[in-house]
């Protein structure tokens, strides 16, 4: 293992975050606070509690997931796309470093950022609503697995994208709708039966449901299914990355 390389990539990526602190950390905190003010306090005060959980508290896992997904994808995709764009990727590709180590550096850093942002949101949320976490181990597991999985997805998008438009395409057109329709702001019980069935095909629903269960023990689908969904998605991303590295897809051809 070339640990020195993993370390410098990781540190370099983290430095980039600190250089753009306002953009990387402050913006998710501000947008989350706005969600709380608008949905939690203004509108939420007129919504009954859901399965005994106040609407403000109910929102927290959904909002965290919303940020984790978008942040993981944007951080990881930008992290690998940017060296490709400016050409410094030559150095990574010519270094004595395995694909796994490249992945560890970039995805590790992106996932770490998401974990930091998620934690900040959780702390911010605790100022607005009373939080309890029923299953901390499950909560942390979903938290970490989501960050890693979606950072992997971001990495894939970053390699696939050959312009800035493509870089934005998936987060904007796929991920954001899936998160909004995946029960981040509501329980699917509130939907008409037909839409409930449709929602079950949304993979993000399983993530949010499992994550919310670890807080309040309420869920749209059973937690086992949630776990299977996250792991299946993780494995899918890993195999795509593996294939990309093996064929040199858009990197070495």
Partner 1 sequence: MSTILSVENLTKRYASGHEALKNINLEIEEGEILALLGPNGAGKTTLISIICGIVNASEGRVIVAGHDNVTAFRKTRSLIGLVPQELTLGSFDRVSDTVSFSRGLFGRGRDDAWVEQLLKDLSLWDKRDSEIMTLSGGMKRRVLIAKALAHKPRVLFLDEPTAGVDVELRKDMWEIVSKLREDGVTIILTTHYIEEAEAIADRVGVISKGELLLVENKASLMQKLGTKQLIVELRTAANALPPALSEFDLELSADGQHITYTYDVRAERTGITSLLQSLQQAGLELRDLQTRQSSLEEIFVNLVNEQ
**Per rule CB under 8 A, is residue 69 in the interface with partner 1?**
no
Name which of residues 83 to 102 contact partner 1 (CB under 8 A): 83, 86-88, 90-98
CA 65 to chain centre: 6
Q: How far is the CB of 84 from partner 1 (least distance, A)?
A: 11
Structure tokens at 172: 């904007």
Interface pattern 11-30 for partner 1 (x via CB under 8 A): -x------x-----------
In the bound state with partner 1, the residue whose beta carbon lies nearer, of 12 and 33, is 12
**Per rule CB under 8 A, is residue 250 in the interface with partner 1?**
no
In the bound state with partner 1, the residue whose beta carbon lies nearer, of 1 and 198, is 1
**Per rule CB under 8 A, is residue 159 in the interface with partner 1?**
no
| 236 Cβ neighbours under 8 A, 6+ residues apart | none
CA pair distance 149, 214, nearest whole angstrom: 18
* C-beta pairs of 241-245 under 8 Å, 24+ apart in sequence: 241/99, 241/103, 241/152, 241/155, 241/156, 242/99, 244/156, 244/159, 245/99
Closest CA to 109 of 17, 210, 36: 17
In the bound state with partner 1, the residue whose beta carbon lies nearer, of 12 and 176, is 12
User: Which positions touch partner 1 (CB under 8 A)?
Assistant: 2, 4-5, 7-9, 12, 19, 83, 86-88, 90-98, 248, 252-253
């Amino acid at each position: 293992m070339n640990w020195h390389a993993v370390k410098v990539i990781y540190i370099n990526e983290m430095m980039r975050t600190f250089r753009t602190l306002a953009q990387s950390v402050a913006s998710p905190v501000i947008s989350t606070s706005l969600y709380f003010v608008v949905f939690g306090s203004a509108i939420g005060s007129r919504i009954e509690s859901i399965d005994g959980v106040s609407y403000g508290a109910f929102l927290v896992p959904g909002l965290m997931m919303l940020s984790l997904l978008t942040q993981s994808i944007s951080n990881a995709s930008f992290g690998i796309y940017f060296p490709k764009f400016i050409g410094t990727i030559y150095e990574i590709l010519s270094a004595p470093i395995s694909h796994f180590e490249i992945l560890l550096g970039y995805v590790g850093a992106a996932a770490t950022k998401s974990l930091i942002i998620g934690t900040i949101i959780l702390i911010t949320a605790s100022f607005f609503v009373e939080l309890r976490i029923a299953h901390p181990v499950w909560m942390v597991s979903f938290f970490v697995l989501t960050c890693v999985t979606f950072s992997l997805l971001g990495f894939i998008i970053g390699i696939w994208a050959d312009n800035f438009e493509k870089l934005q395409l998936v987060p904007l057109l796929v991920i954001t709708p899936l998160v909004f329709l995946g029960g981040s702001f509501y329980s699917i019980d509130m939907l008409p039966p037909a839409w409930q069935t449709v929602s079950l095909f949304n993979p993000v629903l399983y993530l949010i449901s499992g994550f919310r269960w670890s807080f309040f023990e309420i869920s749209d689908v059973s937690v086992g299914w949630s776990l299977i969904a996250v792991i299946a998605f993780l494995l899918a991303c890993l195999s795509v990355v593996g294939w990309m590295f093996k064929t040199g897809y858009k990197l070495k051809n």
